[in-house]
Structure 1
Amino acid sequence: MDTPILEFHGAAGSVTGSCFLLKAGGARILVDCGMFQGSKTEKELNYRPFPFDPAEIDAVLLTHAHIDHSGLLPKLAKDGFSGPIYATPASIDLCAIMLQDSGHIQESEVRQLNRRNRPRSRETVKPIYTADDARSIMPQFIAVDYGEWRETAGAVRFRFWDAGHLLGSASIEIEASGTEGPFRLLFSGDVGPGSKLFESRPEAPSEIDYLICESTYGNREREEYALKERRIRLQKLVTQANHPNGVLLVPSFAVERTQEVLTDLLVLMEAGTLRRCPIIIDSPLASRATGAFKKHALELENGANFLRALNAPNVRFTETAEQSKALDLVTGFHIIIAASGMCEAGRIRHRLKNWLWRNECTVLFVGFQAAGTLGRILQDGAKVVRIQGEEIRVSAKMATLDAYSGHADASELDDWVLERGPIRKCLFLVHGEAGARDAMSSRLSDKLPVAIISPRLDDVYELSGTSPRLLSRAAPARLQPEEIGHRDWHNDYQNFVLNLADRLKEAADHKRRAVILRRLEHALEAETDPKDGRRALR
């Protein structure tokens, strides 16, 4: 029997792209197959070939439906995977909605990109997959309830535990055999916080050999919020944002975060602590996902409040593009909740284009913003941004309410990990930026008597002996650590263009502007190798 191998093909050094390949007992089991989000450098990975042969994958185990965990499943199938995808029933219902929406967004964005590229004689681009591709993969899903042991290829067996992160989210316990006998792994997925409007506290087993744990908030502590306190904070922020001709824009993940914020807003309005105003859900995905939440309402904590909020007369959903565009004409204070949560796609970008330059607008972030995303750039205080090629001055106010995060914070993660003990072999920290993983590793190193490893993208570990062994790769990593979980040159370029425009506008006259441009030309010439006309490498 071959020595078990664990490969880290996503969420290693960054928060997105969850994808782990376990080779054990002659089987190849993929845990998650998510999209990379964040900087353009990271997102380009979505277009590249997988660093493994999809046709050789025996099965996929899915922790939950969020796109950074499930979003490349249609591509996996297009490239040759034909096996089963095991997930909870609620995750399957959400994937049926979210994957098709992802395919639709890709088709739409590629059409726009190709329209811009044609006059420049650039090659046309194809979407990673289409909505039809997403629909065609759904028969491969197999529903598995929490706590139910299932056996898959190579006598590998697994069961799902409620992770408390999202409707249907799971931590996955796996039992397999290796050269040294049977062993147990636990993939945390995304671990929910101690209290969440719709979710129970996360659950998982103890006495694990290898724990693969997320670290999204590994270096951050959120203020302790009971549900009542969270609603008080929300009430204050909405009241501060209330302007007679203004808007509160809430970039929100369409699944669960939108439904949580909507429920809290309506509870406050019913209690009279917030004045009633129009609440518009500007996301077809959120509208369809809400249907899935209605279906599973009895499984949710506070499900009755959610169902009541849906019937409120001041709540409406936009479906068509025309309905969405008409929101630019709405007068009087109103609240718009729109996807995507990191402002990287979807209708929130249109709303931001229309409102960011006005001081009557407040943007409220209710979720994690990955490095390099438009959401993080705005949250960090940018004065000018570019959206769809247009320069937008930022006069809107920015606000953040971490209480809606679906992730456990630093101390909650520590507690969750320690409750899994004894951990016999190793703790792998994944799904976090470098600072988060380093901080979490430092805290836990004094409390755990095992190796704590922060794998890099495409690292391959042999699971044997008292601690995993890093193997040399057959191929180089697709990205280096400094290229992951950080702003990239695309972000720097956008900043440079915006700063240059400011300097030129501030220059005293045309002569001074010409001087600035000549200096830039000289700097570029200095970077050129006179022998072959190419820019010299420094």
Structure 2
Amino acid sequence: MVTVTSYGAAQTVTGSCHLLKIGSIKILIDCGMFQGNGGEDRNYGPFDFDPSKVNYLILTHAHLDHIGRVPKLVKDGFNGTIIATNATLDIAKIMLLDSASILQEEYKTIRRKARRRGEEKSILEPLYTKEDVKEVFAKTWCTLEYFEEHKLKQHVRVSFGNAGHIMGSAFVMIDYQEENQHKRIVFSGDLGSPERLIIDGPDNIGEADSLFIESTYGDRKHKPLEESIAEFKEVVASTLKHNGSVLIPSFALERTQEILWLLHGMHDNGELPKCRIFLDSPLAIKATKLYNRYPIHLSDELEYSTGSGKDPFSFAWLEPSTTREQSMSINRVKEKCIIIAGSGMCNGGRIMHHLKHRLWNKKNAIVFVGYQVPGTLGRSIVDGEKMIKIYGEDIAVKAKIYTINGFSAHADQSELIGWMRPIEGIKHLCLIHGETEKMEVFADAIKRDLGHESHIMAYGVSVKL
């Protein structure tokens, strides 16, 4: 019997975690953190399955909502093989170590406040530590190139295709025999648009019996990339010309590198007014170095650039900021600067003190270039909140707020359907990684355009294939 049970990214976009059982084999697809809407508390609860019984963990890519609970999984008993691309392995190392540092800092802050209230005993220990992260990479890892097959037990094989989401991202193809018939299950992971700035678009596949597909933007169509680039350039140039500052809350992976590539081009083409540009994210700085290490994953233009010995993500006006002192010194620059900092959803990180110092100034602009999960500070700002609280202080939202969704690393409705269209033999189509109302819109669109009925996965409810 073959079953799939979703323990995350089921009618939500975070906490990706899907348990596939093929006979006696148990395969976990991703083990991500819950984010937003108070979901962080769910990360500390026990898993709804026994980690020690899982044979394989397959990672689609290295965003925290897909890998963020892997150290907890190992700490709670997982001792199987971890399967990923080489790039995902390398990115996961820096992402999880950074996550452990943030968890430790948050723990210290919460514990200090609790001590003053006399409630220190009620504070949970960090979800995991750097030592726990090291244990993850002491496990057995199997790294695969795209479309390279790896045999598991009992005639079960796994392979990856390029998902076009971030560097090293993959959709997962699991092939097996059932009653002497070949069957294939596909988990899309997070799919990117065919038209990307710095990496190639997703690969196509010819067949699948069962497809579990993400639906983050299953209810809409993005602006064309060219329009988004033009809007970005206009916002940046206009704000700087009026002596304002541009704040870009940006994810360390993919989005930061895309923004750096755009600003590099604006600088070289004379489109960028004279300014100072700060990359205030140690994690993004480390991630950018990895992008230069894997030129084969980049688009043809960027691969050629790196092959010629050039760094496509660095240029004269860019100032990387690694230390806390460097970060704090940015506050002395009162105007005509661009600040790229994490976290991308404004739920922590260095972007917070930049917002505190600049959000109240109407000359400034906040440019959101990524999805904002409900319940995050970023989502509150995007939704039009006039007053927000940062570090216990009420801050008026007077800066101009822009959301440019054409940069999204997620495919939109038409692109998702376009990726599905050539796939033959689909008998089970299940929607994951999306908000419920968006999944419902997506299901209707799939029925209209492809004629397939869709099943919306619910948390902890098994589907028999």
Return the TM-score normalized by structure 1.
Answer: 0.82
Counterpart CA distance in 2 for 1:450 and 1:321 is 52
Counterpart CA distance in 2 for 1:179 and 1:114 is 56
Counterpart CA distance in 2 for 1:434 and 1:85 is 30
Counterpart CA distance in 1 for 2:296 and 2:148 is 20
Displacement, 1:244? 5.6
Displacement, 1:343? 0.9
Displacement, 1:310? 3.8
* CA deviation vs aligned residue, 1:61-82 (integer Å, no higher than 9, x gap): 1110111111111110011111
- 2:209 is paired with a residue whose SS is strand
Displacement, 1:327? 1.3
Counterpart CA distance in 2 for 1:4 and 1:310 is 45
Q: Does 1:54 align with 2:51?
A: yes
Equivalent residue letter for 1:223: K
- 2:459 is paired with a residue whose SS is coil
Contact (CA 8 Å) 1:100, 1:132: kept in 2 or not? no
Match of residue 418 from structure 1: 421
Equivalent residue letter for 2:252: A
Counterpart CA distance in 2 for 1:399 and 1:450 is 36
Equivalent residue letter for 1:220: R
Displacement, 1:387? 2.0
Match of residue 107 from structure 2: 110
Match of residue 484 from structure 1: none
Counterpart CA distance in 2 for 1:151 and 1:130 is 33
Structure 2 unaligned segments of length 5 or more: list them. none
Tell me the number of residue pairs that the alignment of Structure 1 and Structure 2 aligns. 457
Counterpart CA distance in 1 for 2:200 and 2:30 is 22
Match of residue 460 from structure 1: 462
Match of residue 355 from structure 1: 358
Match of residue 412 from structure 2: 409
**Are residues 422 and 347 of structure 1, via their aligned partners in 2, closer, same or farther at CA, if it must alter by over 3 Å?**
same
**Are residues 312 and 329 of structure 1, via their aligned partners in 2, closer, same or farther at CA, if it must alter by over 3 Å?**
same
Counterpart CA distance in 2 for 1:102 and 1:351 is 20
Counterpart CA distance in 2 for 1:396 and 1:390 is 17
Equivalent residue letter for 1:49: P
Displacement, 1:27? 0.5
- 1:212 is paired with a residue whose SS is strand
Equivalence map 1:61-100=2 (5 Å): 61-100=58-97
Match of residue 321 from structure 2: 318
Match of residue 517 from structure 1: none
Contact (CA 8 Å) 1:25, 1:178: kept in 2 or not? no
Counterpart CA distance in 1 for 2:46 and 2:412 is 34
Displacement, 1:406? 0.5
Counterpart CA distance in 1 for 2:30 and 2:153 is 16
Q: 1:427 aligns with which of 423, 429, 442?
A: 429
Equivalent residue letter for 1:156: V
Equivalent residue letter for 1:97: I
**Are residues 391 and 461 of structure 1, via their aligned partners in 2, closer, same or farther at CA, if it must alter by over 3 Å?**
same
Match of residue 136 from structure 1: 135
* CA deviation vs aligned residue, 1:118-170 (integer Å, no higher than 9, x gap): 11122222111112211221133321111111012443211000011110000
Deviates more, 1:159-168 or 1:310-319: 310-319
Q: Does 1:119 align with 2:116?
A: yes
Equivalence map 1:260-275=2 (5 Å): 260-275=258-273
Q: Does 1:337 align with 2:340?
A: yes
Displacement, 1:52? 0.5
Match of residue 176 from structure 1: 176
Equivalent residue letter for 2:368: F
Equivalent residue letter for 1:282: D
Counterpart CA distance in 2 for 1:342 and 1:195 is 24
Displacement, 1:182? 4.1
Counterpart CA distance in 2 for 1:260 and 1:399 is 17
Structure 1 unaligned segments of length 5 or more: list them. 464-538
Match of residue 255 from structure 1: 253
Q: Does 1:199 align with 2:202?
A: no
CA RMSD in angstroms comes to 1.7
Match of residue 488 from structure 1: none
Counterpart CA distance in 2 for 1:139 and 1:146 is 24
Equivalent residue letter for 1:136: E
Match of residue 163 from structure 2: 163
Equivalent residue letter for 2:259: V
Match of residue 385 from structure 1: 388
Counterpart CA distance in 2 for 1:403 and 1:346 is 24
**Are residues 421 and 388 of structure 1, via their aligned partners in 2, closer, same or farther at CA, if it must alter by over 3 Å?**
farther
Equivalent residue letter for 1:445: K
Displacement, 1:340? 1.1
Return the TM-score normalized by structure 2.
Answer: 0.95
Q: Which has the larger radius of gyration?
A: 1
Counterpart CA distance in 1 for 2:118 and 2:152 is 49
- 2:225 is paired with a residue whose SS is coil
- 1:432 is paired with a residue whose SS is coil
Q: Does 1:437 align with 2:439?
A: yes
Counterpart CA distance in 1 for 2:152 and 2:131 is 28
Equivalence map 1:175-254=2 (5 Å): 175-178=175-178, 181-226=181-226, 229-242=227-240, 245-254=243-252
Deviates more, 1:326-335 or 1:303-312: 303-312
**Are residues 381 and 182 of structure 1, via their aligned partners in 2, closer, same or farther at CA, if it must alter by over 3 Å?**
same
Contact (CA 8 Å) 2:264, 2:314: kept in 1 or not? no
Counterpart CA distance in 1 for 2:20 and 2:150 is 16
- 1:129 is paired with a residue whose SS is coil
Counterpart CA distance in 2 for 1:37 and 1:56 is 26
Contact (CA 8 Å) 1:24, 1:177: kept in 2 or not? no
Q: 2:24 aligns with which of 12, 23, 26?
A: 26
Displacement, 1:354? 1.6
Q: Does 1:293 align with 2:295?
A: no
Equivalent residue letter for 1:137: V
Equivalence map 1:502-517=2 (5 Å): none
Counterpart CA distance in 2 for 1:460 and 1:126 is 32
**Are residues 394 and 208 of structure 1, via their aligned partners in 2, closer, same or farther at CA, if it must alter by over 3 Å?**
same
Equivalent residue letter for 2:37: S
- 1:419 is paired with a residue whose SS is coil
Counterpart CA distance in 1 for 2:78 and 2:324 is 34
Displacement, 1:311? 3.8
Counterpart CA distance in 1 for 2:151 and 2:69 is 24
Displacement, 1:207? 2.0
Contact (CA 8 Å) 1:188, 1:211: kept in 2 or not? yes
Contact (CA 8 Å) 2:257, 2:313: kept in 1 or not? no
